[in-house]
Chains A and B, each alone.
Chain A
Amino acid sequence: MKALLFERDVPRFAAARIAGTLGGGRGARVGPLRLADVDPPVPPGEGWVRVRPRLAGICGSDLATIDARASRYFEPIVSFPFVPGHEVVGDLDDGTRVVLEPVLGCRARAIEPPCPACASGELGGCERVAFGHLAPGLQTGFCADTGGGWSTALIAHESQLHRVPEELSDEDAVLVEPAACAIHGALRVPDRSPTVAVIGAGTLGLLTIAALRRHRTPGTVIAAAKHPEQRRLAKELGADVVAEPAELLRAVRRVTGSLALGDGPVRSLTGGADAVVDCVGSATSLAAALAAVRPRGDVVLVGMAGEVRVDLTPLWHREVRLAGAYAYGTETVPGGGGPSRTARTFDLAFELVAEARLGRLVSARYPLDRFTEAVRHAADAGRRGAVKIAFDLRGEKERNR
C-alpha cells in the first residue's frame, strides 16, 4: 500500500534539520520522510479494524518531526519506521465514517488493569504508551505497528474510533482531533476569567479561541496573530481584540488597565491577563506568555514545545501557574445554566466543530504524491493565508481497490 514513511535515518535526519532551519517544511524533501510502497499493518489482536483514511491533517508536531526539530524526549515513546498522520477521518470496511482518537492507551495495548489515567478516562495521561503488545508510540502516527493517516490504510482499536455524524463533512471531521486538543487546553483556563490571551492563531490557536468561547465564558479574549487571514478568523471565532505578536503586551495592557514598567518599549506589565494560552510553544511565545499574564495567573502550554531557553524569573516572582495541555480525555464542562456535565473531549469536539463550522479551516488538500508541497504549504500556512492543510486520500487508487 502507499504511505509516507518516516524512518530512523541519521544522515537524512541531519539533512532535515539543516533544511528545516532554512525554512519550515523543507525537511520533507531531504529528510527521513519518503513515499513508499509498504505492507499494510497487521492487527495485533481482537478489537482492531482497518481504517482507510479519507483526509489526514498535517499538524505542528508533524512538521517538527519532519524538520527534525522535535525534542529527544519523544525517542522512547515512538517507534520507527512509522507512518505519520494522527488527525484522521476515514472509512471502516463496512463503510462507516469514523474519526480516529489517536492516543494509544492501555485498552488499545491490551493492558489489564489499565493505568490510573486510562482507568479514569484521562487518556492523554496514559502511563503505558511504550508497553503492551504494540511497539512504543504515544499515538497512531508515531507507532511502527499501527500505520498512520498519511497512507491508504491504518489499523485502529475500536476504542479509538468515533462515528462521524452524517451532517459533518470530511473537512469538519478532520478537525475533530485538533479541536479536542484545543478544548482540553481551553478547559485549563479558569472559567469566567476576565481576560484571556491566546498566543498563536494557527489551527490550534484558532480552535482554542473557539473552545474558550464555547466552554469558558471569558470576559475579553485577546489573540496574538501574525497574519491577516489569521487575524480575520480569530475575530470571527470569538477574539475581541486581535494584535500582532509584537503588539500583544500593549494590547493586554490596554484591556486590563495595567501599567507598564519603565519607559520605552513595553517589556513587562504590573498586571496582565488572567490566563494566557500559548499555542505556539516557542521560547518567544513562552516568554511573551509569562510577560502578559498577571501575578498568580495561569499560563497554559497547548502548543508542543521543545527545548527552549526562557527567563523564569517572572514565573517565580509573580507566582504564575504554568500547565501543559496534551491531547484529551474526559472533561467536566459547565452545563449551560444547569449542572455541569462530564463528557469525553472528543464528544465536545464534535459539538464544537459542528457549531462553529470549523471545516472551513481546511484550506488545501494534497494527494500523497505531492507531499513535499503539502508540507511546505502547511509550514507556510499562515503566511499564505491558509490554516489546515490535509492529505486527501479519497482519490488514491489503492485505497479504493
Chain B
Amino acid sequence: MTAPRRARRPGLVLETDRSTPPMLFHHGEGFRLERLPVGSRVIYPPEPVEPLPDPDEAIRQALLHPIDSDPLPALLHPGMKLTIAFDDISLPLPKMRRPDIRQRVIEAVLDLAAEAGVDDVHLIAALALHRRMTEAELRHCLGDRIYDAFAPHGLLYNFDAEDPENLVHLGTTDRGEEVEISKRAAESDLLVYVNINLVAMDGGWKSTATGLASYRSLRHHHNVHTLQHTRSLMDLRRSALHQSNWRMGEVLRKAGVRIFQIETTLNNDTFPAPFDMLQKREWEWTARDRATYIATEAALRRAPRRLVRSIFHGIEAPHQMTSVQAGEVEAVHARTLEHVHAQQLVHVEGQTDVLTLGLPYICPYNVNSVMNPILVMCTGLGYFFNLYRNKPLVREGGVLIMSHPTPWEFHPVHHPSYIDFFEQVLAETTDPAEIEAKYEQAYATDEWYIHLYRTSYAYHGVHPFYMWYWGAHALEHLGGVIVVGGDPRAVRRLGFKPASTLRDALEMAEDVVGRDPSVTHLHAPPLLLAEVT
C-alpha cells in the first residue's frame, strides 16, 4: 500500500487578463473557443498522476494483502459459490483502451479462484437500472478470454432488476429503506465487487447497494428529497445519497452478505491524439496543437453527423491505473478516495456569480448513444455542478452557463422512456418534486419499459426521473441556467434559457446576478473536484 502519487502538475486557478487566449469549451460532438471577460477565473484540473508501473503486480498484491480482510485466496475454497460483480459501461469515460482495468482485475481473481478449485462462478454486470451491455461492450470490458469462457454457459450476464425470481429482500435500514439485491450475489459465499472509481461519487457501499439493487431499493435514495440534501454527490460526508447506501451496506453486512471489494482509480489522461490538446492549458498550445484544433474543428463541422458521432464514441482514453485496493468495503473506499482526491482535487477560493461549463459529448448514460436533452441537464446540473466539496462553485442564486448543442434527439432503443419523459412530463412541469409525485410510479411500473429494459438495450422506465433528480440540488440552488448554442426549443423544454453566444449568455446572466458578475470557468474534462473555501 503506497501513499497516493501526486499529479505531474497540480490543478490551477487562472485569472484571465488581456493576453489570455480564448478558452476551450467542449460543445457536445464539437468544441468552441470562447474569450472570457478579463478577470474571470479558469479552473484547470491537475495533470495526470503517474500510473502504477506494473498494474498486474499491483492487483496481485492488493488481493494477497487486502485491507481489513483475509487475503482473497483464504476466502476461496472448493464447492463455494463465487460471484464477481463489476461496474457497467457507464465507467470509465471515455471507455479505456484494452485491456480494461476490469479485465485485469477479474482475470487475477479468476486465476486465484481456479487455483483454489472454485468452479461455481458467476459474473454479473452491476448495472442496476441502466441498459444491458452488448456482447461487444462486455468483450471490451472483460476481454475475449473471460467472455468466451463464461457467457456461452450463461455464467456472465447483465443484472436484471426486474427479475423477481433472482432478487432477494434482505431487510430494511433503521430508516425503513428496503434492501433488495441480486439473489445470486446475496446468497454467494463470496461476492467480489470490481469497481472503477472515476469520480469520488463511485464505489463504497454504492457499488453493491446500488449496482445490484432493484427499483424497490433504489427509490429510497434516488429521489428528490435525498438528492436535494446531497451536497455534493462527490462528498461522501455530505451526501444523503451515500449515507443511505451506507445504511443499506449495514443491512447487507448484517444479512451475512460477504463482500470482497476491489476498487481501482485512474489518472485523468482522458484524450488520445489527435484530441490530446484538449487536456492542455491553452497558452501552452503549440503551433501544431492550434493547427490540429483548427483542422479538427473544421472537419467535424463538415462531416456528417453520424460519422462525427462514431468518431467521438470511438475514442478510447489512455487512462491508466493509479491505485488498486481490496478488502473490506469502507476501509477500501477510504483509501480509494485519497487516490481520487490526489488526482482531481483543486483548491478554489470563494464562490462565483456565474459558472461556465463546456459539456462534452459523453456522460455515463450515452456511451455509444445520443446525449439527449435530459442527459445534457443531468451532465451539467447533476455531474458538473456537483464537482465540488464544501460549497458549490457558484453561489446560491447564481447562474450556470453551459455550452452544448442540446439537440432534440433521442436514441430510440436506449432511451425510450426518456422520449416520453421529454414529450409528456417536461411539457407539463420541470419541478422535480411535482414530477416525482405525479409521474414516477407510472413510468417505473410501465410494462413496455420493463420489457425493453429486460430484453432490449433500454434504460429502465424510471431512469430519466433519476437524471432529473440528479440535478435537483442545482435547480434549487441556481438563479438561472443558460445553454449556449443549444436547440432553443429543446433548451426551453428543459426550463432553461437559450443563448447563441457566450457573450449573449453573460449579458442574460446579468439580469439575474447583477452587473459585472464574477465569472468562473470549469475547464473540464478532464475531470476535477473543486474544494471551495
Binding site for B on A (CB under 8 A): 241, 243-244, 247, 250-251, 253-254, 257-260, 263-266
| Chain A neighbourhood of B448, CB < 8 A | 253, 258-260
Cβ of B447 < 8 Å from any Cβ of A? Answer: yes
User: Which of A250, A254, A258, A265 has its CB near the most chain B CB atoms (within 10 A)?
Assistant: A254
Q: CB-CB < 8 A to A251: which residues of B?
A: 423-424
Q: How far is the CA of A260 from the CA of B412 in the complex (A)?
A: 12
CA distance A341 to B315 in the complex (A): 71
CA distance A263 to B411 in the complex (A): 11
Question: Does B413 touch A at the CB level, under 8 Å?
Answer: yes
Bound complex: CA of A257 vs CA of B451, how far in Å? 13
Residues of B within 8 A of A247 (CB): 423
CA distance A244 to B451 in the complex (A): 25
User: A253 to B424, alpha carbons, bound, how many Å?
Assistant: 12
Q: Is B452 an interface residue (CB 8 A)?
A: yes
Chain B residue at minimal CB-CB distance from A247 = B423
Answer yes or no: B420 CB below 8 A from chain A CBs: yes
A254 CA to B458 CA, complexed, in Å: 17
CB-CB nearest in chain B for A261:
B448
8 cross-chain CB contacts under 8 A: A241-B424, A244-B423, A250-B420, A251-B423, A254-B424, A259-B447, A259-B451, A266-B416
What residue in chain B is nearest A231 (Cβ atoms)?
Answer: B427
Q: Is the CB of B447 within 8 A of A263?
A: no
CB-contact partner of A264 in B412, B420, B446, B447, under 8 A: B412
List A contacts of B508 (CB < 8 A).
none
Q: Whole-angstrom distance from the CB of A80 to the nearest CB of chain B?
A: 45
Q: Are B458 and A243 in contact (CB under 8 A)?
A: no
Contacts of B457 in A (CB 8 A): 263
Contact between A263 and B456 (Cβ–Cβ < 8 Å)?
A: yes
A228 to chain B, nearest CB (A): 11
**A263's contact among B420, B442, B446, B452, by CB below 8 Å, is which?**
B452
A266 to chain B: which residues have CB within 8 Å? 412, 416
Query: Are B447's CB and A257's CB within 8 A?
Result: yes
Shortest A363–chain B CB gap in Å is 24
Interface string of B436-450 (1 = CB under 8 A from A): 000000100011100
Given A257-B447, A258-B448, A263-B423 contact (CB < 8 Å): no
Check if B512 is an interface residue, CB within 8 A of chain A: no
User: Cβ of A263 and Cβ of B458 under 8 Å apart?
Assistant: yes
Return chain A residues, CB-CB under 8 Å to B451: 259
A225 → B minimal CB distance (Å):
12
Bound form: Cα–Cα A45–B412 in Å: 65
Q: How far is the CB of B465 from chain A (nearest CB, A)?
A: 14
Q: Given A258-B448, A259-B448, A260-B448, A243–B423 Cβ distance below 8 Å?
A: yes
Write out the residue numbers on chain A whose beta carbons fall within 8 Å of the beta carbon of B446: 254, 257
Q: Which residues from chain B contact A253 at a C-beta distance below 8 Å?
A: 448
Q: Which residues of B are interface residues toward A (Cβ below 8 A)?
A: 412-413, 416, 419-420, 423-424, 442, 446-448, 451-452, 456-458
Q: Are A263 and B413 in contact (CB under 8 A)?
A: yes
Q: Give the complex CA separation of A355 and B447 in angstroms.
A: 41
Q: B424 to chain A: which residues have CB within 8 Å?
A: 241, 243, 250-251, 254
Q: How distant is the Cα of A259 from the Cα of B424 in the complex, in angstroms?
A: 17
The complex places the Cα of A260 from the Cα of B413 at a distance, in Å, of 12
- In the complex, besides A257-B447, A265-B412, 10 extra interface pairs with C-beta distance below 8 angstroms are A243-B423, A244-B423, A247-B423, A250-B419, A251-B424, A258-B448, A259-B451, A263-B412, A263-B413, A266-B412
In the A-B complex, the 6 residue pairs with the closest CB atoms: A263-B456, A264-B412, A259-B448, A247-B423, A265-B412, A263-B413
Docked Cα-Cα span, A44 to B457, in Å, equals 72
B422's nearest neighbour on chain A, judged by CB, is: A247
Most buried by A among B413, B423, B446, B451: B423
Cβ-closest chain A residue relative to B443: A254
On chain A, the residues within 8 Å of B416 by CB distance are 263, 266
Most chain A beta carbons < 10 A, residue from B413, B424, B448, B457: B448
B458 and A250: CB pair below 8 A? Answer: no
| A250, A253, A257, A263 — most chain B CB neighbours (10 Å) | A263
The distance from the CB of B368 to the nearest CB of chain A, in whole angstroms, is: 15
Residues of A within 8 A of B412 (CB): 263-266
**Bound-complex Cα distance A264 to B456 (A):** 10
A323 to chain B, nearest CB (A): 29
**In the complex, what distance in Å separates the CA atom of A265 from the CA atom of B412?**
5
Set of chain A residues within 8 Å of B456, measured between Cβ atoms? 263
Complex formed: what's the CA distance from A253 to B452 in Å?
Answer: 14
Chain B residues within an 8 Å CB radius of A259? 447-448, 451
Rounded to whole angstroms, the CA-CA distance of A258 and B446 in the bound complex is 9
Minimum C-beta distance from B453 to chain A (A):
11
A241, A247, A251, A258 — most chain B CB neighbours (10 Å): A247
Chain B minimum-CB-distance residue to A264: B412
How far is it, in angstroms, between the C-alpha of A286 and the C-alpha of B420 when the chains are bound?
23
Separation of A266 and B415 alpha carbons in the complex (Å) = 12
Collect the chain B residues with CB atoms within 8 Å of residue A254's CB: 420, 424, 442, 446
Q: Which residues of A contact B452 (CB under 8 A)?
A: 263
Taken together as a complex, chains A and B put the C-alpha atoms of A250 and B446 apart, in Å, by 13
CA distance A247 to B420 in the complex (A): 8
Distance between A149 CB and nearest chain B CB, rounded to angstroms: 38
Asked whether, in the complex, the Cβ of A264 is within 8 Å of the Cβ of B413, the reply is yes
- Cα(A186)–Cα(B448), bound, Å: 31
- CA–CA, A132 and B447, complex, Å: 60
Report B-chain residues with C-beta under 8 Å of the C-beta of A260: 448
Chain A residues whose C-beta falls within 8 Å of the C-beta of B423 in the assembled complex: 243-244, 247, 250-251
Cα(A128)–Cα(B301), bound, Å: 65
**Nearest CB of chain B from residue A258's CB, rounded to whole Å:** 7
**Chain B residues within an 8 Å CB radius of A241:** 424
Q: Return A226 CB to nearest CB of chain B, in Å.
A: 14
Complex: chain B residue closest to A260, CB-CB = B448
State the Cβ distance, B1 to closest chain A Cβ, in Å.
Answer: 47
Shortest C-beta distance, B439 to chain A (Å), equals 10
Q: In the complex, which residue of chain B has the Cβ closest to the Cβ of A270?
A: B448
Q: Which residue of chain A is the closest to B445 with respect to CB atoms?
A: A257
* Closest beta carbon of chain B to A168's beta carbon, Å: 35
CB distance from B37 to the nearest CB of A (A): 36
Q: How many Å from the CB of A324 to the closest CB on chain B? A: 31
Cα(A244)–Cα(B422), bound, Å: 12
Cα(A218)–Cα(B442), bound, Å: 22
Please indicate the chain A residues that have their CB under 8 angstroms from the CB of B420 in the complex.
250, 254
Complexed CA–CA distance, A253 and B442 (Å): 12
State how many angstroms separate the Cβ of A205 from the closest Cβ of chain B. 19
Q: Closest residue of chain A to B457, judged by CB?
A: A263
Q: How far is the CA of A4 from the CA of B101 in the complex (A)?
A: 79
A259 to B413 Cα, complex, angstroms: 14
Taken together as a complex, chains A and B put the C-alpha atoms of A258 and B447 apart, in Å, by: 8
